[in-house]
Amino acid sequence: MTQETQRKQRILSGIQPTGTFTLGNYIGAVRNWGVLQQEYECLYMVANLHALTVRQTPADLRQQTRQAAAMLLATGIDPKQSILFVQSHVPAHAELAWVLACNTQFGELSRMTQFKDKSAKHADNVNAGLFTYPALMAADILLYNADLVPVGADQKQHLELTRNVAQRFNNLYSPTFQLPEPYIPKTGARVMSLQEPEKKMSKSDTNANSYILMTDDADTILRKCKRAVTDSDGVVRSGEDKPGVTNLMSIYSALTGKDFASIEAEFQGQGYGVFKEAVAQSIIDVFSPIQQEYARILADKAYLDEVLQDGAQRAGRLAGRTLQKVYKKVGMLQL
Ligand code: AMP
Ligand code: TRP
């Protein structure tokens, strides 16, 4: 087969619109999305149905869904090359999720660390959706027969579950789903909190100094980097005994492309002050142009709506075909 006639491999990924994206979302996931569209056929989704697993203020969720889409465009996702859409605009996601939930075991879902973490954090609202969430995520991926799923390291377990469910379905009915592979970056797959470097950086953290948002201005970024927790040893070096410094080094490495050895050399004998300023500057250099583009896109509501409408239609066509096949295989009556 020639290169032209081979189907390009397909990618799907998603992000929840539960607040402004963090530096962790950017380095761990989103920044790879734009790069991958040259080589793959890509679908990128704002996972607003997933966001309902935690209580949301409806007006905010609506607004944040638009903002998430605008931010994805600002980071370089080209809606002509890729399909950018909102999950709830393609009903097949919720429909396939039900079928997959009926093929996912209680025991499997109970082992998901994200479920355990989130149910501890929201003890007053451990709802069924929070528990079956991986079946919805599996539906997101399997509807498009994605080959690769670019995510941060925290999503690896959900990917493994998706593969198991897909394989089980294929064995039980007949080959239907492509088994997806995770695509996890080597540096920055887990960006840690700036305040408690044992925990991952998360936008839901109660301490705003623990994360950097993609919308933070230069002064805020500098201040948060300067306050980042390090240690008393004063040497820029990575190691398990130095989680704070190692985290800053990973961030700097991910954004500048420099490896750890050259970062150590660069800051030898300089102390943390200079190093933290350089880390802040590397973040500012990447985020400022994205922020300008974000403001421009967000102000153009007509354009954004048009992109999302087009994305919903294109994604809907692909998803609809898979759902019909699945319904037929599991015995849903077709008229
Ligand atoms: P979420 O914000 O949970 O919807 O996550 C969206 C994407 O960002 C997923 O691919 C996550 O794996 C990734 N991600 C979230 N937090 C981090 C982090 N602290 N470090 C690296 N990747 C992250
Ligand atoms: N569950 C992912 C997260 O919280 C977001 C997500 C939803 C996703 N559906 C997906 C990621 C499909 C990859 C593929 O980060």
Q: How far apart are CA 98 and CA 89, in angstroms?
A: 17
CA of 5 to the centre of ligand 2 (A): 30
- Is there a contact between 211 and 24 (Cβ–Cβ < 8 Å)? yes
Whether residue 218 has pLDDT greater than 60: yes
Q: What is the pTM of this model?
A: 0.95
Ligand 1 atom nearest residue 200's Cα: 19
Nearest to 97 by CA among 169, 5, 30: 169
Q: 28, exposed or middle or buried, with CB in 10 Å at 0-12, 13-18, 19+?
A: buried
Residues forming a β-bridge with 46: 15, 86
Whether residue 4 has pLDDT greater than 70: no
For the stretch 10-69, pLDDT in tens is 999 999 999 899 999 999 999 999 999 999 999 999 999 999 999 999 999 999 999 999
Length of the chain: 335
Q: Ligand 2 within 6 A of 50 CB?
A: yes
Structure tokens at 109: 């879902």
Which amino acid would we find at residue 129?
G
Q: Ligand 2 within 6 A of 41 CB?
A: no
Number of H helices and number of E strands within the chain? 14, 5
Across 251-272, b (16+ Cβ under 10 Å) vs e yields bbbbbbebebeebeeebeeeeb
Q: Ligand 2 within 6 A of 13 CB?
A: yes
